[in-house]
Structure 1
Amino acid sequence: MKRLCKKRELISMDLTPLIDVVFLLLIFFIVASEFKKNETILNLSLPNSASKENIVEKKAIVIELSEKKLAYKTSEIDFVQLEQKLSLLQKDSQLTVKIDKEVKYKRVVKLLDILNKLQLSNLLLITKSQ
C-alpha cells in the first residue's frame, strides 16, 4: 500500500495591496494636513510680563517692530507703507503688536502715532510670560 503524501503548500499573503493602501493614506494625510504658517518674520526678543494672558484672534493683524525693521502680516515694510495699509482697515480691527525689548522708544511712539492718527485702538501688545 502506497501512502499518498501531499506536500503542504505554504500560503503567503501578497503585501502589495496593503502597501498601496498605506501609501494612499500617507498621501491623503500629507495633503489634508494644515501646516502652521510662520507668523513672525522678524526675530524679536519680547519683553517679560506677569500680566494675565489674553486670547489672540486668528484674524488679528500682526505688526512686528524691531530696532531697524518693521513687518506687517509677515512682510517687511516701512512706516509710510504701514500707514497706507492700515488706512484700509476698519476702526474696530484687532491689531497684534510685537515689539522687540531693545527697540528705542522713538520708534514705538512713531508706530503708536500712526495707530492713533487712524483711530485704530483695538490693540494687543504681545510679551513673553515669566
Structure 2
Amino acid sequence: MNFRNKKHKPLEISLTPMIDVVFLLLIFFMVTTTFSRQSTIKVVLPQADGQQTEQQQQAVILTIDKAGLYFIDDKPLSDKSLGTLARELSASRKDRNIPLIINADAAAPVQSAISVLDVASKIGFSNITFATQKQE
C-alpha cells in the first residue's frame, strides 16, 4: 500500500478563453442592438408662468403663424424669405433699445423662430423675448 502523500499540482484556470468569449458576446450585442433616437418627451409650447411686461406699446411685435408666415405689427410680409424679414425688421426699428417680441404659434416650425432670432441679432436687436400664455 502506498500511503504517501502525493503532491498535487495547483490548478490553473486560464482566463484567456473566458475573456475572449465575453468580448465576442459584447461585440455580438453591440452589433445586433438598434439604437432609437425617438424622444419620449412631449413638449407643449408656448406656455409659461412669468410676469407680464408693460413694454408692449413701444415694442416691435413679430408674429409667426402655424404655416411659418411672418407678420410684423399685424402686417403680413410679402414672402417667407429672410431678406424680406431683415428689411422689414430694420425698417420697423426706430430706436436702438426697442424690444422685439416674438409671438410664435405653438405649432409653428422651430426653424422659423430660429431664423427670426438669427436675423434679429444680425440687425442689432439686443432685447428679444418670446410671448407666452399663462399655464392653466
TM-score w.r.t. length of structure 2:
0.55
* Corresponding residue for residue 83 of structure 1: 86
Alpha-carbon separation, structure 2, partners of 1:106 and 1:82: 14
* Corresponding residue for residue 73 of structure 1: 73
The structure that is strand-richer by fraction is 1
The structure that is helix-richer by fraction is 2
The answer to whether residue 120 in structure 2 is matched with residue 115 in structure 1 is yes
* Corresponding residue for residue 28 of structure 1: none
Which protein has the larger Cα radius of gyration, Structure 1 or Structure 2? 2
Contact 2:48 2:132 in 1 (8 A): yes
Matched pairs, number: 86
The answer to whether residue 49 in structure 2 is matched with residue 50 in structure 1 is yes
Q: CA RMSD in A?
A: 2.1
Identical-residue share of aligned pairs (%): 18
Amino acid at match of 1:66: D
Alpha-carbon separation, structure 1, partners of 2:96 and 2:55: 18
Alpha-carbon separation, structure 2, partners of 1:66 and 1:99: 6
Question: Any idea what SS the aligned residue of 1:58 has?
Answer: helix
Question: Any idea what SS the aligned residue of 1:57 has?
Answer: helix
Could you list the per-position Cα deviations for residues 60-105 of structure 1 after superposition, in whole angstroms to 9, with x for gaps in the alignment?
A: 1110012321101111103332211222324312222100111121
| Misfit runs of 4+, over 3 Å | none
